[in-house]
Structure 1
Amino acid sequence: MVLRALRAPVGPPRLGVVRLVIAGLLVAAATIVGFVVNANNPDLLYAAAAPLFGNWQPHVGPGTPAAVLIAFLVVAKGSELARHRFALPIAYLTSVAWTFSLAMIDGWDRFVTRLTTEDEYLHEVPGVTDVPAMLNGFAARILDFQPDSWTTHVSGHPPGALLTFVALDRVGLGGGAAASIFCILVGSLAVVAIPLATKINAVLPFLVLFPGAVWVGASADGMFMGVAAVGIYLLTRWPLLGGIVLGWCLFLSYGLVLLAPLALAALWRQGEPGVTGRRIGWALAGALAVVGAFAINGFWWLDGYELVKLRYYQGIGDTRPYWYWAWANLAALALVIGPAGVQGLRKDRWVVAAGIAILAADLSGLSKAETERIWLPFAVWLLAGTAKLDRRWLTAQAVTALAVNHLVLTNW
């Protein structure tokens, strides 16, 4: 009995405490250094609330009561949710409600205009009257300082992102409201796809209260997160179909090529190298079919990527210092995944794969700031390690999301 008592863990695991302390210090340091740098040179970081892209502006809004109520219910009933017969649809609808309520803290007017500014995708939608011609001439308009240069977000992404919003417009769902709602509806699919891929329903409440939902509603990257998660799940069941979806992801964002580690985690079959090899082959066939379809229609992914690297340094990407963002990006990540995400980091193939993708993105130098939205497709998978955490950690997740959304007026 004595030996058993001595061996019983007391409080959180020591490594978990260390991770939380490091994450807290990282966020504090990034915030303090960001404040000092902005006070001395406001045009350097180009992020007034660094390490987050937004402005310090404490506020409440019509979404505040709903967000607090949803958080309370998920914390109280989260463990029951994971065991419910209809756990996945309930979790999906709750995630949509949570994300929308967070967006409404900033108000409806801001929500419906987030994707309509002159830097965003919807700004270019009316000019796309001939899709084949647009694809054929897409790369020529990537570089800046031309009369017909694409707006910032369109130029920084492959044409699939613009095509998505063009398609919405063509079916009668044009405008900022429909686009923002679409991003939330698609982004929330990650809450369903990840438990299906990992076969761990216990992560559901943590995915529902994902602090990154602050940036899912509404940003195109939130939509990318949902599509990518569905693609990874499909790889575990139907590799060819999953490959097609992930091939489409390559044309939503160049950075989603870094989904490769997560794709391998999904395709891997322990002790069955032959099976794994065949699955990889089917997945590659699906992805290459999408790449080939775009190439036939005039857009070659590698040409676009090379031009985007040049475009990146034609704007604020050239101004923002790597010495700060190389580590401040990770502080932003800590806020996105929340304390539970940090505590749940462990030697799990999904967590490791997501970590590899994030590290590669950070070291590339092409992710300086705004990673709280750009890294959403990778960051959400870090919550795969939260299954064994209790409701205290759900409370911490909710508090993190609510604090960020009420203290900072984020750009997304």
Structure 2
Amino acid sequence: MSSRPTRTASVGRAPGLGPDLAAVCAVTGLVVAAALVGWRLLRAGVDIFLGFPPLLAQWLPHVGPGTPVALVTALLVAVHGPRLAARMDWRPLLSASWGAAVVWTLSLALVDGWQRGVVGRLTSDQEYLYDVPKVGSVLGMLRTFSDHILTNQPVHWTTHVGAHPPGVFLLFVLLDRIGLGGGGAAGLFVVLVGSSACVAVAVALRALGAEDVARRTLPFGVLLPGAVWVGVSADGMFAGVLAWGVALLALGATRRGRRADGAALVGGLLLGYVLYLSYGLALGGLLPLVVVALTRAWRAAGFAQLGAALVVAAFTAAGFWWLTGYEDVRVIYAASIAQTRPYEYFVWADLAALAFAVGPAVVAGLRRAAAAPRALPAGPALLTSAALAAILLADVSGMSKGEVERIWLPFAVWLVVPCGLLPRRQIGYWLAAQAVLALAVNHLLLTVW
């Protein structure tokens, strides 16, 4: 396959700035409404557990050591990113994009300082690393994991450990076992994996025959405002794992030979492991289904299913049954802060919170995709639709009341795809808008993640 972009005639041609700005203004109105109603609920004594509705954050203007690096990175990507994405050979482009995304994400985290912005994010008494010292035997932890999910017992897992399947906790335990324990190493690991999601999305798009779209969207993936929460939250890592699972399946489905079979198998292993990172990521299964439906590559689908089945079999044999954990989590969720978070507010305010993670360029891109459904090739269009469907299902389920600016990151990274429809001469400005939003959030607010 050529390393040069293939052109799609309908991509990025029509100006349409007026309707784009109208869509951005409409979403801004939704954000303002969510903020006003949220503050009203707080004043009325409804504890929605949001310090700055619709975000889990508090007002705290500040700068930090990451500020100058973030500003320079944003400027360089906005000015030079589109040109480099169009001209660079494919593999160097992917490496450069991952590097830029890592710098962008880490510099945003360092606006809050090394200790508060990186080390402390995963070490609080509600987070994963707090429970790592409790683990003597890894197999013993997996065998008895479900016994400690419910919080109405003397010995139970911390909030984030118990609210997720053991896959994510297992990763942090293994990092600790190989000498990479502590918040600093864990935080950097999360940033490295989470920042690679934009590259994985591009790989999937190119494998499905949409290289031009992949190249045009890469700078938007790098400067995704959701990087504020990728650095440092485990959900950012989830985004990377899911994206690479889909990308490897796409590679396996569109190529032939042992390497293709291997890619599909590894993709299946990652997609199976995703189920043990977060219960809500079962909705991420819509993305690989799109790949299989588009390619009808049943051999690749079989290898992917085998990989996923191996993961499920391994966790089950170790003593953890996914459905038991899910039912226990539903119990603790019903008794948690979800009790006082009204569904009728969060069912729409969650979408306002998501707007902070995806930014105005994504809003404009989605507007264009909706106005001209055939403007995008089938692969990019269906992957975007699958991500949107996952978000809407999570939203109406009532299992995502607040904090979705991080929880929905695994789906949000796919919403940059319609940014490929933005006119070429406007791309720099839209990238600047993405960066300004992320910088404003990180410098004006103190986010929990």
Task: Tell me the TM-score normalised to structure 1 length.
Answer: 0.94
What is the identity, as a one-letter code, of the residue corresponding to 1:76? V
Pick one of 179, 184, 199 that aligns with 1:177.
Answer: 184
Query: Could you tell me how far 1:11 is from its partner in structure 2?
Result: 3.7
Question: Which residue of structure 2 lines up, in the alignment, with residue 91 of structure 1?
Answer: 97
Question: Which residue of structure 2 lines up, in the alignment, with residue 247 of structure 1?
Answer: 272
* 1:187-212 deviation per Cα after TM superposition (whole angstroms, max 9, x unaligned): 01112111110121111111110000
Question: Which residue of structure 1 lines up, in the alignment, with residue 261 of structure 2?
Answer: none
Query: Could you tell me how far 1:27 is from its partner in structure 2?
Result: 0.7
What is the identity, as a one-letter code, of the residue corresponding to 1:92? W
Question: Which residue of structure 2 lines up, in the alignment, with residue 201 of structure 1?
Answer: 215
* 1:34-89 deviation per Cα after TM superposition (whole angstroms, max 9, x unaligned): 12222332x51101111111111121112111111111111110112212232111
Pick one of 47, 64, 77 that aligns with 1:74.
Answer: 77
Question: Which residue of structure 1 lines up, in the alignment, with residue 125 of structure 2?
Answer: 118
Query: Could you tell me how far 1:281 is from its partner in structure 2?
Result: 3.2
* 1:233-264 deviation per Cα after TM superposition (whole angstroms, max 9, x unaligned): 01102332211111001001111101111111
Checking the alignment, whether the CA contact within 8 Å between 1:44 and 1:321 is kept in structure 2 is: no
Rounded Cα–Cα distance in structure 2 between residues aligned with 1:64 and 1:57? 15
Question: Which residue of structure 2 lines up, in the alignment, with residue 45 of structure 1?
Answer: 48
Query: Could you tell me how far 1:17 is from its partner in structure 2?
Result: 4.1
Rounded Cα–Cα distance in structure 1 between residues aligned with 2:75 and 2:330? 44
Question: Which residue of structure 2 lines up, in the alignment, with residue 313 of structure 1?
Answer: 334
What is the identity, as a one-letter code, of the residue corresponding to 1:233? A
Secondary structure of 2:294's match? Answer: coil
Rounded Cα–Cα distance in structure 2 between residues aligned with 1:96 and 1:269? 31
Query: Could you tell me how far 1:145 is from its partner in structure 2?
Result: 2.1
Pick one of 257, 260, 264 that aligns with 2:289.
Answer: 264
What is the identity, as a one-letter code, of the residue corresponding to 2:41? V
CA RMSD of the aligned region, Å? 1.5
Query: Could you tell me how far 1:278 is from its partner in structure 2?
Result: 4.0
Query: Could you tell me how far 1:387 is from its partner in structure 2?
Result: 1.6
- Over the matched positions of the two proteins, sequence identity in percent amounts to 51
Question: Which residue of structure 2 lines up, in the alignment, with residue 211 of structure 1?
Answer: 225
Rounded Cα–Cα distance in structure 2 between residues aligned with 1:197 and 1:9? 26
Checking the alignment, whether the CA contact within 8 Å between 1:149 and 1:155 is kept in structure 2 is: yes
Checking the alignment, whether the CA contact within 8 Å between 1:81 and 1:205 is kept in structure 2 is: no
Pick one of 140, 147, 150 that aligns with 1:143.
Answer: 150
What is the identity, as a one-letter code, of the residue corresponding to 1:33? V
Checking the alignment, whether the CA contact within 8 Å between 1:144 and 1:314 is kept in structure 2 is: no
Question: Which residue of structure 2 lines up, in the alignment, with residue 227 of structure 1?
Answer: 241
Structure 2, unmatched stretches of 5+, are: 1-12, 207-213, 253-263, 374-380
Correspondence 1:28-39 to 2 at 5 A: 28-39=32-43
Question: Which residue of structure 1 lines up, in the alignment, with residue 404 of structure 2?
Answer: 371
Rounded Cα–Cα distance in structure 1 between residues aligned with 2:284 and 2:84? 29
Question: Which residue of structure 2 lines up, in the alignment, with residue 402 of structure 1?
Answer: 439
Rounded Cα–Cα distance in structure 2 between residues aligned with 1:81 and 1:160? 37
Checking the alignment, whether the CA contact within 8 Å between 1:19 and 1:342 is kept in structure 2 is: yes
Question: Which residue of structure 2 lines up, in the alignment, with residue 339 of structure 1?
Answer: 360
Rounded Cα–Cα distance in structure 1 between residues aligned with 2:140 and 2:113? 38
Query: Could you tell me how far 1:18 is from its partner in structure 2?
Result: 4.3
Secondary structure of 1:269's match? Answer: helix
Secondary structure of 1:55's match? Answer: strand
Pick one of 301, 304, 324 that aligns with 1:283.
Answer: 304
Query: Could you tell me how far 1:221 is from its partner in structure 2?
Result: 0.6
Rounded Cα–Cα distance in structure 2 between residues aligned with 1:174 and 1:144? 26
Checking the alignment, whether the CA contact within 8 Å between 1:63 and 1:107 is kept in structure 2 is: yes
Query: Could you tell me how far 1:19 is from its partner in structure 2?
Result: 2.7
Query: Could you tell me how far 1:120 is from its partner in structure 2?
Result: 0.3
What is the identity, as a one-letter code, of the residue corresponding to 1:395? A
Query: Could you tell me how far 1:142 is from its partner in structure 2?
Result: 0.7
Query: Could you tell me how far 1:10 is from its partner in structure 2?
Result: 5.4
Moved more, 116-125 or 126-135: 126-135
Rounded Cα–Cα distance in structure 2 between residues aligned with 1:10 and 1:407? 33
Question: Which residue of structure 2 lines up, in the alignment, with residue 361 of structure 1?
Answer: 394
Correspondence 1:383-394 to 2 at 5 A: 383-389=416-422, 390-394=427-431
Rounded Cα–Cα distance in structure 2 between residues aligned with 1:151 and 1:81? 45
Question: Which residue of structure 2 lines up, in the alignment, with residue 236 of structure 1?
Answer: 250
Q: How many residues align?
A: 399
Rounded Cα–Cα distance in structure 1 between residues aligned with 2:150 and 2:416? 37
Checking the alignment, whether the CA contact within 8 Å between 1:38 and 1:48 is kept in structure 2 is: no
* 1:281-316 deviation per Cα after TM superposition (whole angstroms, max 9, x unaligned): 332222122111111110011111111100111211
Rounded Cα–Cα distance in structure 1 between residues aligned with 2:18 and 2:304? 39
User: Following TM superposition, where does structure 1 have runs of at least 4 consecutive aligned residues deviating by more than 6 angstroms?
Assistant: none
Question: Which residue of structure 2 lines up, in the alignment, with residue 323 of structure 1?
Answer: 344
Query: Could you tell me how far 1:13 is from its partner in structure 2?
Result: 6.3
Rounded Cα–Cα distance in structure 2 between residues aligned with 1:30 and 1:376? 20
